[in-house]
Structure 1
Amino acid sequence: MFESIEHALSSYVPQLIGQQRHFSVLIPIILIDQEPHLLYEVRSQNISQPGDTSFPGGAVEKGETFRQAAVRETMEELNLSRQSIKVLGELDYIATEQVLIRSFVAYLPHVAIEDIDVNEEVDQLFTIPLRYILQHEPVYHSLDLSIRHPQDFPFDQIPNGKQYPWRKAQHLIPFYELKDHFLWGYTASFTSQLSLFLKENQLF
């Protein structure tokens, strides 16, 4: 029996426990006056988190990979051809009980921001010089998360019942201080990770 379990585990791909929705984002880099900039979207009022800053991306559809989803969503949101997107590789990802978000860094050769014709999901575009991101760290603010139990929660099935010492949850949220735009949360996290990766590998 144990040999059979070992054999089955040898080809098993571990998954994060939970029912996460899968998302993928592209971190686009464009050149402006020969200087690399990160390209951001401001989400339109027609979709979730209106007015927020994000990278192009969205839900992974059945039958496609995370990378394919990131490219497809970018093509749709920015009305770009596949040839306009050169994926450089995958960066870090975010995983919670609710979502799994993977990120891919890409260069958009021969793309000028003023020529991009966004779709209805995007209100506007803006860029931040990559040099600025490398020189400025995000500021982290904490958010205390409270625990609420429904009336039918089975306290009788856990030690000490209602006096069980639940761990207090605290969520650290990164914020970049920008003059005219918002940059916080997951998008700020991906931005910070790219900056950290470039610094650690002395690539800029």
Structure 2
Amino acid sequence: MLIDAENIKKALSQSLPGQVSHRKMLPLNRELSAQPDELLRIKHSSVLLLLFKKNNELNVCLIKRPAHMKHHAGQIGLPGGRIEKGETALETAFRETWEEIGISREKIEILGSLSELYVQVSGFQIHPFVGWISEKPAFIINKNEVERTISFPLKTLKNIIEEAEIETFTGQLKVPCFKFENEIIWGATAMILSEFYDTIHRFTTTNQ
């Protein structure tokens, strides 16, 4: 089956695997849901999983955060950030994508959304959206927030989930991850990618 914008939209309109996919990439001793004492402290953010074709293959735009950042330094993520007062989650995703990689909302077709997920260590509830850009993206990087963009082929997610030991502010941590171009993709980004891949894979295998 051709994986195009229309079929991705159909796949996202069906029931999503949610925590089943998230759990595959969940670091040890972390929770997928906020505990009672954490509920009042939840903050909200949104991200955009931006899709485009490169060499006739479906790619996701990932970003590497600069080493100088206070939070998430050197980590691989998706364009996005905290939802500001008066904004919807989707407006935040559009704004952050424009600010970080220079792609305007007029060029993006929103195909749907993925399951929200809670990141226990930061207290953020993340709202992931899936967008499509039909033309070859010309990224304009905000060097204060992005070191570089990474064109990540969706087929890479077929590979076996690996494990890596990373340094966090709480110490060394073993995490499930995807590896690509000598980078480690773990945590919330890996969980979002896992659900997206599972959603598309299920749709394509049941609609052959």
- Please state whether the residue corresponding to 2:183 is helix, strand or coil: coil
Partner of 1:66: 89
Partner of 1:195: 197
Is residue 2:64 matched to residue 1:39? no
Partner of residue 50 from structure 2, selected from 2, 14, 28? 28
- Structural mapping, 1:156-195, within 5 Å: 173-195=175-197
The C-alpha deviation readout for 1:17-63, integer Å capped at 9, x for no partner, is 33111111101111112211111100013422211100000000111
Structure 1's unaligned 5+ residue stretches are 1-15, 144-170
Give, in whole Å, the separation in 1 of the partners of 2:150 and 2:164. Answer: 24
Partner of 1:130: 154
**Structure 2 vs 1, CA of residues 86 and 54 (structure 1 numbering), >3 Å: closer, same or farther?**
same
Letter of the 2:106 counterpart: Q
Structure 2's unaligned 5+ residue stretches are 1-37, 167-172
Structure with higher Rg: it is 1
| Alignment coverage as a number of residue pairs | 160
The C-alpha deviation readout for 1:61-107, integer Å capped at 9, x for no partner, is 11111111111100111112221111111101212552101101111
Letter of the 1:193 counterpart: E
Please say if residues 84 and 111 of structure 1, whose CA atoms lie closer than 8 Å, have aligned partners that are also in contact.
no
* Identical amino acids, percent of aligned pairs: 26
TM-score (norm 1): 0.70
The C-alpha deviation readout for 1:168-199, integer Å capped at 9, x for no partner, is xxx98431133422211111111111011111
TM-score (norm 2): 0.69
Partner of residue 110 from structure 1, selected from 135, 140, 165? 135
Pairwise CA RMSD: 2.5
Partner of 1:18: 40
**Structure 2 vs 1, CA of residues 96 and 126 (structure 1 numbering), >3 Å: closer, same or farther?**
closer
**Structure 2 vs 1, CA of residues 20 and 172 (structure 1 numbering), >3 Å: closer, same or farther?**
farther
Partner of residue 52 from structure 1, selected from 75, 85, 103? 75
Which gives a bigger RCO, structure 1 or 2 (Cα 8 Å, sep 6+)? 2
- Please state whether the residue corresponding to 2:91 is helix, strand or coil: helix
